[in-house]
Amino acid sequence: MEAQAALIPTPDNALVWHEDALHLLDQRLLPERALFLRCQESGEVAQAITDMVVRGAPAIGIAAAYGVVLAARRRYVQWGAGWSHHLGPDLAGLAHARPTAVNLAWALQRMRGCLARCGEGDPLGPLLAEARAIHQEDRLANRRMGELGAALIEGPTRVITHCNAGALATGGYGTALGVIRSAFAAGRLSGVYADETRPWLQGARLTAWELQQDAIPVVLQADGAAAALMAEGGIGWVIVGADRIAANGDVANKIGTYGLAVLARYHRVGFMVVAPTSTLDLGVASGAEIPIEARDPSEVLACGGRRVGPEGVAARNPVFDVTPAELVDALVTERGVILCPDRPKIRALMEG
């Protein structure tokens, strides 16, 4: 991957196809620096996903779709006729970049369908058009979810969000932050509390930066401060995204989401999950079947590049947890809103 600084970094401009390469705004560096990494190979895209250069389920899927474009272009140049028979390792590398976000598998499956229609000619045009369509459809879906979710909020009120489910995590506008943006524009939101989200601090670094760009009042808080804040009153909703939603409505999202849902139920605060239907995995019966990614324990033992845990102390670093469907008050998708989601309601939404 090659660092690039020529493109203009904004929350809505985190993934850019430019001059025959995929440019990814390096989210590990925000907000101190805004730098694009230029990916010309599918392996570079897979590594960028693994290394958290790009993160957030929809954005991971979009990046993987562009990764297929890069892989097919390279194989076509190498092999000409018969190029498609050499794509297996490239697709496998993308598929295994991160295991929990179902949008990754969804996007790759859609790109495989396009590959099957390409024949053995130059695949660049059709594949690039499909990747761009996935990207644009996500942007439009986010806008629609923003409108639907904002309509549920009686305000003005304050909300809590966890991790980053904004434009940086999607094709643009955001899922949870899309609802927050739309609600603020409609006068239904007076302020946002952003959990800092250890250990990668996506709330502190990314969500606060996004909301600041839009002049939406945001206050950072330690993850453990949410309970006392809810007890004070004045919090209308907890609004989060999702990395995978099982057929029964169980939600896998950033670690700490489950605890927030429990707190919200106890304090009678609404709990809203905002995610496109590409995040719904009907092949997984419940959250118990969702693979939970575990990352390097050193991420917990350090903060800001400085070790904070004593040498010799072990750490666990699950990236996600599963919130049972019965704790979800509203599931907002681009196809509509499900109140108190369950298996029959999700099936009806997807079949409809």
The DSSP H or E segment spanning 195 is: strand 189-195
Residue with tokens 């570079």: 44
Chain centroid, CA 59 distance in Å: 6
Nearest in space to 295 (alpha carbons), one of 276, 310, 317, 320: 317
Q: Count CA atoms closer than 13 A to 72's CA, side-chain side.
A: 26
Q: Which one of 26, 90, 243, 250 is the catalytic residue?
A: 243
CA-to-CA distance for 45 and 51, rounded, in angstroms? 10
Phi, psi of 111 (to 5 degrees): -70, -35
Q: Is 221 exposed, middle or buried (0-12, 13-18, 19+ CB in 10 A)?
A: middle
- Clarify whether 321 is annotated catalytic: no
Q: Which amino acid is at 79?
A: W
Distance CA 122, CA 80 (A): 8
Count other Cβ atoms within 10 Å, centred on residue 70: 26
Residue 239 region by backbone torsions, left for phi larger than 0, else alpha for psi between -120 and 50, else beta: beta
Output the six-digit token pair for 89.
């390792």
What is the rounded CA–CA span in Å between residue 265 and residue 346? 21
Q: Please state the separation of Cα 145 from the chain's center in Å.
A: 14
Read off the DSSP letter of residue 100: S
* Rounded Cα–Cα distance for residues 315 and 71 (Å): 37
Residues annotated as part of the active site: 243
